[in-house]
Amino acid sequence: MEKIFIFDTTLRDGEQIPGACLNPREKLEIAFQLARLQVDAIEAGFPISSPGDFEAVQGIAARVKGPTIVALARAVRKDIEVAWNAIKKAEKPRLHVFLGTSDIHIQKKFGLDRDKALERGLEALKFAKSLCPDVEYSTEDASRTNPEYLSRVVEQVIAAGATVVNIPDTVGYAVPHQFGNLISHLKETVSNIDEVVLSVHCHNDLGLATANTLAAIENGARQVECTMNGLGERAGNASLEEIVMTIKTRKDYFKFQTSVNAREVMRTSKLVSRLMGMPVQANKAIVGANAFAHSSGVHQDGILKDRATYEIIRPEDLGITEHAMILTARSGRHALRDKISKMGYDLDEEEFEGVYERFVSVADKKKRVYDEDVDIIVQDMIFAHLAGNKLYSLESYKVRTGNSEAPEARVRLRREEVILEASAEGSGPIDAIFRAIDKIAGAFHKLEDFQVKAVTETKEAIGEATVRVSREGHRALGRGSSTDILKASAKAYVEAVNRIHFLLEHHSQTCGSDNGSVVQGTSRAHNTA
């Protein structure tokens, strides 16, 4: 069966979501997981957009083996140079250059005409090609581009050395039949089209991203650009899990294959959701919490007789397991180390000891520790100890509350060797804790989002809190977990406050800012992708 190449852009288009803001360590962890998922290419970022993103892409290029590592650049020499510097150490580097081809982009964004825009694109492509043998060229807003002009651009960029040509539906405007026709128009009119991998990149503004992508495959596209959980600019991108599982489940119809290891889908989805602070809707296809929950009596009866009556995908094919091996307080270091390495984490001694200490305290409170608990403990430990980001850490807290008195919290935070303490009243115990933390930090943080969820379904489950706060134009996400949700919330808030402090100190580094712009050094540049 012919192969469809999976190009994952969770770390680039996905990370453009307001407030997503991953730091280099988090991006690296997601990239490792995408490599385990066996995608063909990882678009690691847009290096010119910020020093932090440059560092993240560079780290991924140096450490993640297997997939091609891609960096995005506008058709601008400086962008391309910076992108190349970020990925040149990768096992398989690829530069991704993009330039609008629709009249609205050419005239309104660049003030050019079609010929001049093509000239600019070719010049940029040739420069990229002089640095890197593998260059992808994206005709931004292709679905709203004059088809004859699009064919001309595609033919000339192939002649100039592009190895992949990408046809984006940048604004999610296409409908499946029409988008499929556009791909077959290119196959018919571009004389050298068979010299490249033809790719598509669909946005989900009309909820058609997956359908458009599949229509493109049927008409000759062989690379698809997608993101985990469908995250991405505005309404998101085509969802990786939907495309991969449609091809796999309906191989009778599509007759293609991908190299993705579907058993890693669920873990990848959870990791991305958690680190980006973007919960997956319960009824989301493939990875939603209800995707395999059968509630009607008729369905349950059918499932008990034969799962195939109402289930087209087996949960275990996505890596959803019935808690494989349960650990307890007596499991010891060996069993925990074994579990952690099977999950794919590579911890050094100090990190492992930190995880072990936390594991023992959780196992003391909860009788049984499930895989999901271990996952959260490891991630919490790794991501809470980000060098340079940790101004405050939670020492302790006390809350007094009841139905006839205003809740009051007393919080103690450590800042280096100093213990700082404050009390505050709030509308609820969590509000009181957050206010006390603000008092210690000497600043008000606007709470934009706050969620708590149980990691497993037992009563003593670990609760995971996610908070998103903003201050002075910066937004940050914090996470914390504990069997006590007040503690989880306090940890999450402290982490978010630390991150905001870090962003304010490093003004040139921001992401997911309100206006969708990204910062380059001291000058701002709009990320139009």
213 contributes a contact to ligand KIV by CB under 6 A: no
CA 337, 343, 345, 350 torsion: positive or negative? negative
Nearer to ligand KIV, 140 or 408 (CB): 140
Q: Which residue has the tokens 């959260």?
A: 376
CA dihedral 268, 236, 60, 121 (to 10 degrees): 150
Bridge partners, residue 408, by sequence: 400, 425
462 contributes a contact to ligand KIV by CB under 6 A: no
Residue 510 Cβ vs ligand KIV, minimum distance, rounded to whole Å: 20
Identify what 31 binds: ligand KIV, Zn ion, none; CB under 5 to 8 Å per kind: none
Size of the site for Zn ion (CB under 5 A): 1
In sequence order, which residues have a C-beta less than 8 Å from that of residue 275 and are 6 or more positions away? 22, 26, 29, 30, 379, 383
C-alpha angle 31-35-39 in degrees, rounded to nearest 5: 110
Question: CB–CB of 369/328 below 8 Å?
Answer: yes
- Buried b / exposed e across 388-420, counting CB within 10 Å, b at 16+? ebbbbebeebebeeeeeeebbbbbebbeeeeeb
| Token pair in block for residue 307 | 């799962």
Of 331, 399, 383, 387, residue with least CA distance to 359:
331
Nearer to ligand KIV, 176 or 302 (CB): 176
Rounded distance, CA 465 to CA 475, Å?
A: 17
Identify what 29 binds: ligand KIV, Zn ion, none; CB under 5 to 8 Å per kind: none
Identify what 269 binds: Zn ion, ligand KIV, none; CB under 5 to 8 Å per kind: none
Size of the site for ligand KIV (CB under 6 A): 11
Nearer to ligand KIV, 183 or 362 (CB): 183
Question: CB–CB of 97/74 below 8 Å?
Answer: yes
Q: Site residues for ligand KIV, window 343-402 (CB under 6 A)?
A: none
230 contributes a contact to ligand KIV by CB under 6 A: no
Nearer to ligand KIV, 141 or 375 (CB): 141
246 contributes a contact to ligand KIV by CB under 6 A: no
Angle between the N-to-C axes of helices 349-365 and 371-384, in degrees from 0 to 180, rounded to the nearest 10: 130
201 contributes a contact to ligand KIV by CB under 6 A: yes
79 contributes a contact to ligand KIV by CB under 6 A: no
Q: Site residues for Zn ion, window 6-65 (CB under 5 A)?
A: 13
Nearer to ligand KIV, 129 or 203 (CB): 203
Nearer to Zn ion, 10 or 151 (CB): 10
Q: Site residues for ligand KIV, window 140-199 (CB under 6 A)?
A: 140, 166, 168, 170
The dihedrals phi and psi of 163, each to the nearest 5 degrees, come to: -100, -25
Residue 143 Cβ vs Zn ion, minimum distance, rounded to whole Å: 12
Question: CB–CB of 462/366 below 8 Å?
Answer: yes
C-alpha angle 428-500-359 in degrees, rounded to nearest 5: 70
Nearer to Zn ion, 205 or 317 (CB): 205
- The residue number whose beta carbon is nearest to Zn ion equals 13
Residues that bind Zn ion (CB under 5 A): 13
Q: Which residues bind ligand KIV (CB under 6 A)?
A: 13, 72, 98, 138, 140, 166, 168, 170, 201, 203, 529
